[in-house]
Amino acid sequence: MKNKIVIIANGTIHDTVFHKKLLEGFDIIICADGGAYSAKKMDIIPDYIIGDLDSASSSIIEFFKKNNTKIIYDNNQEKTDLELAISLAETLDPYEILILGAIGDRIDHTLANILCLANIKPDIKVQIIDDKNTIELVDSAIDITGEKDEIISIVPLTDLLGLSYSGLKWIVNNKDTKFGWFGISNRISEYNANISLNSGKILVIKVRE
């Protein structure tokens, strides 16, 4: 049976009510090391905590261990804690992974967390969400549902061939472009929008104002 998996990273989670509501309907919760603090703040017992455990204190690890959380110590310094959590999630037969706490004050950590999306198996639906943004990596096509005038930004990670979108205020049709072009602050003009490309990878970011 395929699973919906939540990963809680060690970034900033301000609105705990918003984030806790997102967890409804998910099967497995994984904390990436210090993400355990956010889980405790949201009164959530994760199924796993993974990492080199340099961010989570021994007391919080013991608390979750007593509540039957599986603790996985992995000190692989060539991977971030989020990468370790993603690798674990991919062994648990996911069809969807939701990543919370991936955006924070450290721009280096935030960028690394976002770029992790490029390494996840393409048949798995993956989103990074916080109370302001939804970020998804797209290498073929995506349908977008939202409110009129919601902001949609497109950030290429590679050179692109055949980029097109409909249902947005500013339309692009079969555009070829080099890495470094940006489609920032477009807006949804219809209830259903679509973005597609023939070759390349983009980040599609929905911004909640």
**pLDDT tens, position by position, 137-193:** 999 999 998 888 999 999 999 999 999 999 999 999 999 999 999 999 999 998 889
- The set of long-range contacts for 53-62, using a CB threshold of 8 Å and a minimum separation of 24, is 55/10, 55/81, 56/31, 60/36, 61/36
**pLDDT tens, position by position, 97-136:** 999 999 988 899 999 999 999 989 889 999 999 999 999 9
**Using CA atoms, how far apart are residues 148 and 121, in angstroms rounded to an integer?**
32
**Using CA atoms, how far apart are residues 181 and 86, in angstroms rounded to an integer?**
29
Domain topology for 3-131? Rossmann fold (3.40.50)
Sign, CA torsion 121/122/127/133: positive
Residue 5's beta-bridge partner residues?
28, 97
Residues of the chain with CATH 2.60.120.320: 138-207
In the 8-state DSSP scheme, what is residue 179? B
Class of domain 138-207: mainly beta
Percent of the chain scoring above 70 in pLDDT: 100
Phi–psi pair at 180, nearest 5 degrees: 120, -20
Give me the pLDDT at residue 50, please: 97
Query: pTM score > 0.85 for this model?
Result: yes
**Based on the number of CB atoms within 10 Å of its own CB, is 58 exposed (0-12), middle (13-18) or buried (19 or more)?**
exposed
Residues of the chain with CATH 3.40.50.10240: 3-131
Q: What integer is the mean pLDDT of 45-53?
A: 95
